[in-house]
Structure 1
Amino acid sequence: MRAVIAEDLVLLRDGLSRAFRAHDIDVVAEVGDAGALVDAVNANRPDIAIVDVRMPPTFRDEGARATRLLRDRFPAMGILVLSHTIDPVLALTLASDRAEGFGYLLKDRVLDVSVFIDSVRLVAAGGTTIDPAVISGGLARRTGALAVLSDRERDVLSEMARGRSNAAIAADLYISERTVDAHVRSILLKLDLAPSAEANRRVQAALAWLLAGDESGSAPMP
């Protein structure tokens, strides 16, 4: 696997690079701003890019905008976005059009190297991972619509939006796969979402539903 790291904090960038190399991930470029990120991806065509949301020169949304550009230009490449803050609207905006090969994690998750590396491999392989804290923030914006779901269905929906399979959800929640399947069918029915056996489409449905909770009807970039 080949990776590009875009992070302006040198110590964090170096730490990510060391962790990747320790797990047989080839770091082909390390950059500190969004422009250099785009150039590095164009030159190296990596399997995944690790992108800080806020980078020079303004430290506002450069990383997020570069992510949008790269997702359009290189749809087969995975992108894992790192952020210091919980921003459900931004996360769901970046993922809603195409959930495959996308991740959004808080930087605190990097401290657990094994979990972080698993997330990198998942996203590079076309999977989806959204930080549980971000999903919780998105769910909180839907308190009215969530009234139709039971507490357990909310738990299952949160896991679905993270890209978890029924087997993984069952293990996480200590229930049977059959029970998870029943909850998924009920969730899709209650939320008027078309059922699908494809994990990626389940994620897209959950993310689209969460994003629809934004009162403005859209989710502008910060």
Structure 2
Amino acid sequence: MPDIDDGAENNEDTLKLIDTLSSYGFSQFITTPHVLTGVWNNTKDDILQKEEYTKALLKNKDIKLPFKAAAEYLMDDVFLKLLQNEELLTIKDEYVLVEMSYLNPPMQLYDILFELQLKGYKPILAHPERYNAYHNNYKEFEKLKKAGCLFQINLLSTTGYYGKPVFKTCEKLLNDGMIDYTGSDVHHTRHASAFKNPVLLKDTSVLEKALKNNSLFSI
């Protein structure tokens, strides 16, 4: 959606991204703008208003691909307060996309995951393979799974786009059956263009399985 976070800057960007991704075979779109206090102070109302604006933009251009907005919530103490006082925007039903700092997971991480599930949500952790703090501490991934956290990898991680350590972690998570879903995480045209890069996985069947799981979120 245009001008809401570090994604599309304007209407033209939005239309270019939709056009490029649809040319690869993407047939519907669930956008998840950041909710990150102090950086992207998006509220539920802000996102829903921008969703309606974007739908009107697509309709005006005769683009009929299904489109909806959810959010990607940064797990921190502010989010914990939000969780206690407001209904979250979900990808579908009770599934909510969350993230954390790449370098330092929050002190209250497992409290947040517990509270999310207590409220009836199913947390999906965005791009687990990109959390540098866990690259040399793989057991933390297993701990997160046991705590009820689902995993969604970035598709570009399978191409080496984010570097070798991220790719290696992505590959291991896939091979170990830890990945539940995939996401494009496309922010700009460079991301979109990078989908032309080859997948580096030796076994792509594990990726195909995760891709098929995305049908759960069909609009």
For Structure 1 versus Structure 2, the TM-score category normalised by the shorter chain is 0.3 to 0.5
Q: TM-score, normalised by structure 1?
A: 0.35
Q: TM-score, normalised by structure 2?
A: 0.36
